[in-house]
Amino acid sequence: MKTGAGASQPHGNSCRAIMDKGIYTLVFRNPACTVRIGALGEIAFPAGWHIYIGSALGSGGLKRLDRHITLFRNRDKRPKWHVDYLLLAPEFTLAGAVSASTTEPFECGLARKLGGQSIPGFGCSDCSCTSHLFFRKRVPLYEIEVAFRSLDLVPTIKTIITDDT
C-alpha cells in the first residue's frame, strides 16, 4: 500500500459511506400479547424474545438502526415498517441490537441461519423469505453472534435496555 506524498487519497467520504452500510438485528423482549401489525393484522406473540433481521444497505446505511432505537425511546412517529409496530407497542422492549458492516445482502442468509419459529410475512415483503422475525424462549444474543460470524461478519452488540434500567 502506497503511503506518503505519492499516495492516492479516497474521494470524499466514499470509504466511510461503504462502512456505514450493513445488516442488523433488533432483539425484543415481550410478555404474551396481541399487537396489530399494519396489513398483517392482529398477531398473537408468545412471551419471550423476538429477533428482527433488517438490512441497512440503502442510502442511510446503519443510521437506520439509530432510527429504530430513537423511535423506540421516543415513540413519537407513526409506523412505516412492520418492525415499527413492535417499536411502538408498549408490550415490546427493545433490549439490544447486533449489527455488522457489509455491502453484501446478507439479510436473507441471516434469516435462514437463525430460522425457527417465526411470524409469517413479517418484514419480508421485498424477498422470498417466510419471515424476518423469529421467536426464542431465551436470550438469543449468543446465537445471533454465532450466526453473524458464520457469515464472516464481525458483530457489534449494543445493549439498549437491561433489567436494571
- Is 149 within a domain? yes
Q: Specify the pLDDT at position 161.
A: 76
Q: DSSP characters for 18-86?
A: HHT-EEEEEEEEE-SEEEEEGGGEEEEE-SEEEEEEEEE-STTTTHHHHHHHHHHHH--S---SHHHHH
Q: Is residue 4 part of a domain?
A: no
Which residues form the domain of 43? 14-159
- Residue 21 counted as domain residue: yes
**Is 31 among the domain residues?**
yes
**In-domain check, residue 7:** no
Average pLDDT value for residue range 70-99: 95
Domain count, the chain: 1
Cα 123 to Cα 76, 84, 104, distances in angstroms = 21, 10, 18
Does 5 have pLDDT greater than 80? no
- pTM for this prediction: 0.85
The answer to whether position 155 is within a domain reads: yes
Residue 50 lies in a domain: yes
Share of the chain above pLDDT 70, in %: 86
In a domain, 101, yes or no: yes
Position 164 pLDDT exceeds 60: no
